[in-house]
Amino acid sequence: MAKQYQMDMCTGSVLKKMLLFSLPLMASGVLQLLFNAADVIVLGKYAGDNSMGAVGSTSSLINMFTNLFVGLSVGVNVIAARAHGANSASDMHETVHTSMLLSLICGAILAVIGVILAPEMLVLMNATENLLPLSALYLRIYFLGMPAMMVYNFGSAILRAVGDTKRPLYFLTLAGAINVVLNLLFVILLKMDVAGVALATVISQCVSAGLTVRCLIKDKTEIHLELRMLRIRRRILLSVLRVGIPAGFQGTIFSLSNVVIQSSINPFLDDVVNGNSAAQSVEGFIYMAMNTFHQAAISFTGQHMGAKKYRRIPRILACSLLCVTVTGLSLGWLAFGFGRPLLSIYSKQTAVIDAGMNRLAVIATTYALCGMMDVMVGMLRGLGSSVMPMIVSLLGACGLRILWIATIFQIPEFHTVTTIYLSYPISWAITLFVHVICYIVVWRRLKQRESEYFIVEEKAGLVQ
């Protein structure tokens, strides 16, 4: 029964299967974002702009810590996809059980860090005094749910590796509905403010994690999970870490630069901070839609590498770039065009909406560059190269943005929030260009190393 949810990515039309893979994943991502959007909207409507700003200003800090561990799930996705492509049930069995135990360990580490260090981290980010207590309370409760978040992310990575993006969508639909209901209950009826939305998010994450674990336990294919078999297999762990640590470090680097940017925004007026938080929430939906093609690039390339069907990889790249560019441009400009009504969902204050539109004008309209950059990273990771994109991101994203803040932003006539926002598209464009060069280098090395398989494919008429 579970086999019907899986997908053989190595045969048939790449574009058709990529869309079938990506659309449920896109819907899942949107639902996941609705967790945070529901938090911000309910707070803005029923608790005030300061509560909304307190939650919104924590997103970059949360991402900085979670991305390192979520990056390990990228390693899980690549290793599991290769095992599936190679039809190796034993490798998949070891990957599933190593990964799920690793997810619990990562979640526990994050929970301890967040609960203990939340106020100190916010102070380092220049959080304003009136937002600091609310932000710290939200962070502490939110981080208590990290074990559940990690279990869901690692479990979903395993399901994506075999082409299953439908069941995670079902799980998040239920969890999202629970989150919204609990938000309304805790904030409107029980007057719990930021603690209420944080608790609602944690409960909904536990629901999605529980459903994912149940799915893996009930599954009768090679991804079947047996709790008594949970243990770390050294060989699998090293393979996951080889891909996952650079991927996680890269995500952390991006988030670190965003923390620096958030710290530069925080000293501005509260209306600017609140407008920035609202615009970030809107942009999150665009990013999540584009990110599905980053995930598709990883899974499709991973399966093809496992099956040693290298000739179709350039087509995967072409389809991924086409899809992410169309998605980024259309959604980005729609978000800007309908920016005011969208931002009014979060706040009715004209100054807050104006500040949010300022951000959308710069970032949403150029967001396609970010999507294209991520697709190139996904292709490189799927090919097994994870250190190279990490280094490029270190220099291109984190380095350039921090340099921009330390130089251009410090010039009096450029000391504006718009100048801060411009660091995003500039860093995306430069980093994208370098990633393209890296892909060409890695692809040529692969062709040289695996020339025998290229010849066999060509003779067998497998070029599509």
Rounded distance between C-alpha atoms, residue 205 and residue 263, angstroms: 28
- Of 78-87, 129-138, 161-170, which gets the smallest average pLDDT? 129-138
State yes or no: pLDDT of 184 exceeds 60. yes
Residue 461 has a pLDDT of 52
* Residue range 165-189: mean pLDDT, rounded: 88
With a pLDDT cut of 70, the percent of the chain lying above it is 93
Count of H-run helices and E-run strands, the chain: 18, 0
State yes or no: pLDDT of 172 exceeds 60. yes
Q: What is the pLDDT of residues 295-352, one digit of tens each?
A: 899 889 988 888 888 888 999 999 999 999 999 999 999 999 999 999 988 888 888 8
Asked if residue 4 is part of any domain, the answer here is no
- The highest-confidence range among 84-88, 268-272, 325-329, 412-416, by mean pLDDT, is 325-329
Q: Which among 167, 160, 17 is positioned nearest to 95, based on CA atoms? A: 160
Asked if residue 5 is part of any domain, the answer here is no
pTM of the prediction?
Answer: 0.79
Q: What is the pLDDT of residues 1-31, one digit of tens each?
A: 456 667 778 888 899 999 998 888 888 877 7
Asked if residue 297 is part of any domain, the answer here is yes
Residue 464 has a pLDDT of 40
DSSP state for residue 416 in the 8-state scheme: S
* Residue range 84-107: mean pLDDT, rounded: 93
Residues 255, 260, 264, 267, Cα dihedral to 10°: 90
Asked if residue 2 is part of any domain, the answer here is no
Mean pLDDT (the chain) is 86
State yes or no: pLDDT of 355 exceeds 50. yes
Residue 243 has a pLDDT of 86
Residues 201, 202, 207, 209, Cα dihedral to 10°: 110
Q: Are 7 and 163 in contact, with CB atoms under 8 Å apart?
A: yes
Number of separate domains in the chain? 1
State yes or no: pLDDT of 453 exceeds 70. no
Asked if residue 7 is part of any domain, the answer here is no
Asked if residue 6 is part of any domain, the answer here is no
- The highest-confidence range among 37-51, 212-226, 386-400, by mean pLDDT, is 212-226
Q: Which among 78, 197, 70, 69 is positioned nearest to 135, based on CA atoms? A: 197
State yes or no: pLDDT of 395 exceeds 90. no
Band of residue 364 on the pLDDT scale cut at 50, 70, 90: very high
Q: Within a 10 A sphere around the Cβ of 303, how many other Cβ atoms?
A: 27
Q: Within a 10 A sphere around the Cβ of 109, how many other Cβ atoms?
A: 16
Residue 1 has a pLDDT of 46
Q: What is the pLDDT of residues 105-123, one digit of tens each?
A: 999 999 999 899 888 888 8
State yes or no: pLDDT of 422 exceeds 80. yes
State yes or no: pLDDT of 411 exceeds 60. yes
Residue 398 has a pLDDT of 79
State yes or no: pLDDT of 256 exceeds 80. no
Per-residue tokens: 246: 């650079």
Asked if residue 38 is part of any domain, the answer here is yes
Range of the domain at 47: 12-460
Asked if residue 334 is part of any domain, the answer here is yes
